[in-house]
């Protein structure tokens, strides 16, 4: 930059792009800025041509059913399906304050096109929330029918109490105790790493507590490790664990006789290398041979079973006991680039640049074992996938403390993890801005009243407790993935009591967590150590790739 180099700005411009080009760049940036600030719905109509042909055929093929709240939307979908004339004024499927209404009234808008786009947009959201469903679909079935019946849920031995009054009584006691301890620490000036001034919380960053000799020790250990080929490591691991025994023929169930070829396929999958490059690097197998092995022996469920066998064997090693006892874990997503077709599939996340990609969401136990991995879109929120990994295999079910970064927490996740018996400890980036939620604001100590937000809706929790029981039992029963259930609940309209009840439970659990986090620096260090182990696993994958 001119300022940093201590040269004249005019000379720097002349030496780079020139004044004329700079003026064009400024004008272009201004136009782009106006586009970004503009209402996105103004551009939605431009996408009409993408689905004008398939939308009627799709609606004809799908037998869509919905709740009473979705009847106006289904009636509008029938208009598109039957290719009838678009109603001149009616749009009853829109909320009264919806932005779509103002655009539909705009005389400069092609109303018929925008009306169709609005119907399909709201139909997509209704599928996500469960307000409409397909009778023979697993992913988009009627959520009421998919949930475990309340009578069965009550006999499953859940860790949560069957009576809401028992749970609420316990949380009231814990909140009262926690608020009292926090108020005493604030009053005495003994709040570790934080202070509350004028009703605002300020938290200092936790200082590292690692001996300076640790770096030298790590480097010395690395130098002592022998150099070895990764293929030899795979063969040794298979000899000790029998991981390839899990890969049987998808049609006949016979074990794979070509162990070396199967390990090549596993290595190619694990490094995101691809079978073509692996065949080029291999002197034993062609692409056709590797592709045949991949098609007939390798699928996600089998990989999960083989991974579970490796993790169980690793946990039995004496050295693994030095790192932990297998009861804590961290989860985080790692971005991997994909081909350019990802642009059309909405796989671009600006956080990772302009190239499309996917995320591998991995759970790493305290013994450094990655016991669960899921491939998820780069554009989605990571939080709903935490419970998928924890409930996927026996290793995850033994976890007691689960750590996550900011992207891994929502109030629904706080609720579900607690009700399932996990202690959820996320590292929340904007912790000072989060409010404390209580049952009775009048009982809050004076020192903390500036931090208190909305009152907990106790009656809503009690009324919807049977449905909460059904949700937790469904997650444990494997009838529906926890991420799928949580996403449906999060997408439901705000007035839906079941989602509100879980949100209120999550607010209570988040408040209890914030209190303990502020008072317990040891908890903060445990979370940091757990997340560092996950980052170390990411670094290893990058190095191998």
List the one residue out of 178, 84, 72 whose CA is nearest residue 131: 72
DSSP assignments along 339-397, one per residue: -GGGGTTT---GGG-SS-EEEEEEEEETTS-EEEEEEEETTS-SGGGHHHHHTTSHHHH
What averages of pLDDT result for each successive group of 10 residues across the chain (545 residues)? 53 70 77 58 72 86 88 91 83 78 79 86 87 84 86 93 96 96 92 81 81 88 90 93 93 93 92 88 92 93 88 92 93 80 53 75 94 87 92 90 89 96 92 92 91 94 95 91 89 73 96 95 93 92 83
Q: Supply φ then ψ for residue 404, to 5 degrees.
A: -155, 160
- Return the pLDDT at 343: 44
472: its two tokens: 């937790």
Distance between CA atoms of residues 381 and 363, nearest Å: 16
The answer to whether 246 and 302 have CB atoms below 8 angstroms apart is yes
208: its two tokens: 């590292």
Q: How much is the pTM?
A: 0.81
Give CA 542 to chain center in angstroms. Answer: 21
Q: What is the 3-state secondary structure (H, E, C) of 65-86?
A: EECHHHHHHHHHHHHHHCCCCC
- Return the pLDDT at 230: 87
Q: What is the CA angle 288-251-313, rounded to 5? A: 85
Beta strands in 123-267 (DSSP E): 132-134, 194-197, 200-203
Domain boundaries, the chain: 2-37, 40-146, 164-207+324-333+382-544, 228-307
3-state secondary structure of 52: coil
């Amino acid at each position: 930059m001119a300022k940093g180099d201590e040269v004249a700005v005019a000379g720097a411009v002349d030496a780079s792009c020139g004044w004329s080009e700079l003026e064009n760049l400024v004008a272009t940036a201004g136009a782009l800025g106006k586009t970004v600030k503009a209402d996105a719905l103004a551009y939605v109509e431009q996408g009409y041509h993408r689905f004008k042909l398939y939308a009627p055929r799709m609606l004809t093929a799908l037998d869509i059913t919905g709740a009473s709240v979705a009847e106006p939307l289904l009636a509008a979908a029938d208009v598109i399906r039957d290719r009838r004339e678009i109603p001149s004024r009616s749009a009853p499927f829109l909320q009264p304050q919806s932005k779509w209404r103002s655009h539909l009234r705009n005389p400069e808008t092609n109303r018929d096109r925008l009306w169709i786009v609005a119907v399909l947009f709201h139909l997509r959201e209704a599928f996500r929330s469960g307000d409409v469903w397909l009778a023979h679909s697993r992913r988009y079935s009627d959520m009421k029918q998919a949930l475990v019946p309340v009578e069965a849920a009550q006999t499953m031995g859940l860790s949560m109490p069957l009576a809401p009054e028992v749970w609420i009584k316990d949380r009231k006691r814990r909140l009262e105790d926690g608020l009292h301890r926090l108020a005493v620490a604030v009053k005495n000036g003994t709040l570790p790493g934080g202070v509350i001034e004028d009703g605002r919380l300020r938290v200092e960053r936790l200082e590292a507590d690692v001996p300076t000799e640790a770096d030298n020790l790590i480097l010395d250990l690395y130098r002592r490790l022998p150099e070895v080929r990764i293929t030899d490591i795979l063969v040794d691991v298979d000899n000790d664990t029998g991981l390839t025994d899990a890969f049987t023929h998808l049609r006949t169930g016979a074990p794979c006789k070509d162990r070396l070829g199967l390990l090549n396929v596993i290595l190619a999958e694990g490094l995101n290398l691809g079978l073509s490059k692996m065949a080029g690097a291999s002197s034993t197998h062609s692409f056709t041979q590797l592709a045949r092995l991949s098609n007939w022996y390798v699928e996600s469920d089998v990989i999960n079973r083989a991974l579970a066998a490796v993790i169980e064997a690793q946990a039995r090693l004496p050295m693994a006991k030095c790192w932990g006892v297998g009861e804590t874990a961290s989860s985080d997503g790692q971005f991997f680039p994909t081909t350019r077709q990802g642009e059309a599939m909405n796989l671009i996340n600006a956080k990772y640049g302009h190239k499309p990609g996917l995320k591998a969401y991995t759970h790493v136990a305290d013994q450094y074992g990655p016991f669960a991995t899921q491939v998820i879109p780069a554009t989605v929120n990571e939080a709903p996938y935490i419970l998928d990994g924890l409930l996927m295999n026996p290793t995850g079910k033994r976890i007691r403390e689960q750590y996550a970064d900011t992207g891994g927490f929502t109030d629904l996740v706080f609720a579900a993890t607690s009700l399932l018996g996990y202690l959820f400890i996320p590292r929340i980036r904007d912790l000072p801005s989060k409010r404390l939620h209580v049952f009775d604001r009048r009982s809050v100590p004076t020192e903390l009243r500036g931090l208190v937000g909305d009152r907990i809706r106790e009656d809503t929790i009690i009324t919807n407790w049977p449905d909460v029981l059904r949700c937790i039992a469904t997650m444990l029963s494997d009838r529906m993935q926890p991420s799928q259930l949580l996403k449906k609940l999060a997408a439901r309209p705000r007035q839906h009591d079941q989602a509100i009840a879980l949100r209120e439970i999550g607010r209570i659990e988040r408040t209890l967590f914030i209190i303990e986090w502020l008072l317990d620096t040891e908890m903060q260090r445990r979370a940091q150590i757990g997340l560092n182990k996950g980052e170390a696993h990411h670094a290893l994958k990058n190095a191998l790739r």
